[in-house]
Structure 1
Amino acid sequence: MTRRTRLSVAAGAALSLAFLAGCSSELPQPDPEPTAETAPPVLDGDRLDRILTETAATFQKADEAKDPEALAARITGPALEVRQAEYRLAEATGGSTAPSPVTTATQVEAVAATYDFPRTAMVITQVPEGANLPLLLTFAQPDARTPYKLWGWVELFPGIETPPLIHPDTGSQQLAPDSEGLIATPAQAVERYVDTLNKQDSEYADQFAGDPYKDSSRKAITDLDSRIEAAGDASISYAVGDDAPQALATADGGAIVLGELSSTQTIKKTVPGATLTVGGEIGALLGQDKQVRGTVAGVSEVLVAFYVPPAGGDAKQIRPLGAKTVLTEVSRNDAEAPAAR
């Protein structure tokens, strides 16, 4: 007989009557600590410093060995693709193209304030040694078991004015790709920007302020097309990247958004019997045979940062803040050679 059964038998009918009469004492109720209405910042200063230090050490170790596998400890997503591509270009060009300078020494820091995942942190850096402009670095933590890793970075445009960020002691609102309250959601900002790159008469053209990346890309492809017009033509197209954008709220209710896209530059031979060759980075990745018989296509990874203003405010345009692009792969299709006349 268990202790519980012995107690029940000993108490007899009197205990039963006590329960029937409603004379039992109430069971104690849990009294949990109240949940804060505002989520705390996801990182304190010491933890953010440790992430930055370990990221810098990862870059140093991998860069010295040009070892793509060594990057994975603290670098992920588009940032990983960018650095791996820079290693391939350095090898293909015999070192004349070097990986871009990166620093984690910061000027401004911002971290998400949320209980949920994924989580984001952004920093504006000092000017890296060997460079002329500071960087915007974005770190992401997809889940509790994965450490923060560098997700992407851009070089800020010359003279750009960055929006006011929220101090990391308070934390910034973590924004999803479809977050509203802005003149465009983070995902829409990237999608519409791509549309303006593909079409100069895009319906979204007026929603974006001008930016050096768009201007230089258009000029580069126009100049190339002019140089090869005796034998072929050159064109470029853009697409939204596979990774959803990262976004944090700014102090004025807007957002900094870092989005991934890709560009495909196509060089096409259009004149039968003409000779068309390519140089530069595309030529380097093509290898020994640099002749274009049909088409040659170079795909680049592109990251662009935006300031997206809050809905209902005075600002009506999305401002590109910086960009980063690197050639990732080259392919050729000789079957598209022009037919002999």
Structure 2
Amino acid sequence: MTRHELRRPARKDTTTMSRSLDRRGLLLGAGTLLTSGVLAACSSEVEPPPAPSTGRPHEEPTPVQTTEQFARIVPEIHAAVVAADEARDVEELAPRVSGSAADFRKAAYAMIDKAEEWAEDLRTPGSELIVPMTSVTAEFPRTAIALVEDSVEEEGVPYFVVMQQKDAKSPYTCWGWAQQAVGIEMPMVANELVGAEQVTRETEDLLMTPAKALSLYANVLTSGNNEDPDDLLADNPFQTVTHERIATERRELNAGVERDEAATIKETYKVDEDEFAGLRTDDGGAIVMGTLRSSRRVAIKDGATMRYAEDNKYTKVIGEREFSSEYVRSFGTHVALYIPPKDSSGKVQPIGATQTALDASGE
């Protein structure tokens, strides 16, 4: 057996080490024997050279990341985020956390400075590895994805954590993590001893290219299922919750009047073209990760005034809670999608998302 099954999240049990090992063994499948190595890895070990061996070439491609590397890097990512959150200092994230993950944290700290309750919304992947997804591609940049535990104590949902290495002299850095969707069937991935091929934005032997899949998801999040006339995107919790929240806010904005008579609301999503990662799944499909940025704008009609409650966290950031023109909130979201192989009858399945509030304004 050379596959790992990314099972649906289950209740986390941390009462004893033995029970934790049992659960991780079930998730790792064929990798069970590697679990003890993961848990026992010492963070003081020197990281193996990232460049490929110059010795006799292997007959088959081999993974360019090892379980030992994962076992050290994942806790270092977790520790960097925890240290930065405690100090409210984005500099603490380097060198393991970079890109949009660092940008989002910096924006979140600015919001917390204005309203402390925003600290409760920070989402942090844990330090324990569940499933490593390694690549066999020798060229740079190199990609790895790890499914890791949540950082909460009693119950949590795992995260897909992306790690990339720019060149042989650079460390693996993380630019994002997407919390696994609950109730969604997960794809099978290659055992870490076998590894998987990296895919690019324009890989064509999939149901659609990753670039098109991310764009489709952004468009559906923005404008609904009319943007998916061929019904190629599967239902997913993040989309459902996002649209329900917007619909609820629309009703509240226009309470007592006709739809949109007092104000309109629309959230627009765009794909960040600077960040992408993708690895093959066991069936020839791919798990891809990307970054979306969005702006949710309430446009207030002439003569109307919107007044928000004193405990509204966004208006605390703005310093005002009454608006007569517009009210805008911005977000950053890391997403994970599964894209089936080209001739599959399946759909593009969003399998993870983590959203961070970045800013708010109004007038």
Q: Please give the range of the TM-score, normalised by the shorter of the 2 chains.
A: 0.7 to 0.9
CA contact (8 A) 1:247 1:258 kept: yes
Note the C-alpha offset of 1:47.
2.0
- The 4+ residue runs of structure 1 with deviation greater than 3 A are 32-39, 273-281
**One-letter code of the match for 2:233?**
F
User: 1:193 touches 1:204 (CA, 8 Å); kept in 2?
Assistant: no
Structure 1, unpaired ranges of 5+: 1-31, 335-341
Superposed CA deviations along residues 182-227 of structure 1, whole A, max 9, x for unmatched, are 1011111101111222333114560011011111111111111111
Query: Matched residue pairs, number?
Result: 300
Q: Quick one: which of 156, 159, 163 aligns to 1:135?
A: 159
1:118 maps to which of 141, 145, 148: 141
1: CA distance, partners of 2:326 / 2:214: 28
AA partner of residue 194 (structure 1) = A
Given that 2:337 and 2:350 are in contact with CA atoms closer than 8 Å, whether structure 1 keeps it comes out as yes
**In the TM superposition, what whole-angstrom CA distance separates every residue of 1:71-127 from its partner, at most 9, and x where no partner exists?**
122101222223223323333222354222320311111111111011111111224
Alignment of 1:160 with 2:178, yes or no, is: no
Using structure 2 for the length normalisation, give the TM-score. Answer: 0.77
Q: How many Å apart are 1:240 and its aligned residue? A: 1.4
Instruction: Give distance in 2, aligned partners of 1:152 and 1:51.
Output: 14
The reply on whether 1:282 has 2:314 as its aligned counterpart is yes
Q: Which has the larger radius of gyration?
A: 1
2:99 and 2:112 map into 1 onto residues whose CA distance is 20
Residues 1:33 and 1:327: Cα distance change in structure 2 (over 3 Å): closer
Alignment of 1:1-341 (within 5 A): 35-36=57-58, 38-95=60-117, 97-98=119-120, 99-130=122-153, 132-200=156-224, 201-204=226-229, 206-229=231-254, 231-272=262-303, 274-277=305-308, 280-286=312-318, 288-313=319-344, 315-332=345-362, 334=363
Partner of 1:338: none
Contact 2:294–2:331 (8 Å) recurs in 1: yes
5+ long unaligned stretches in structure 2: 1-53
Output one character per residue of 1:211-256: Cα deviation in whole Å (capped at 9) or x when no partner: 1111111111111111112642322121112323210111111100
Question: Which secondary structure state, in structure 2, belongs to the residue aligned with residue 115 of structure 1?
Answer: coil
> Structure 1 residues 44-53 or 317-326, which shifts more?
44-53
> In the TM superposition, what is the alpha-carbon distance from 1:51 to its structure 2 partner?
1.2
Q: CA RMSD in A?
A: 2.2
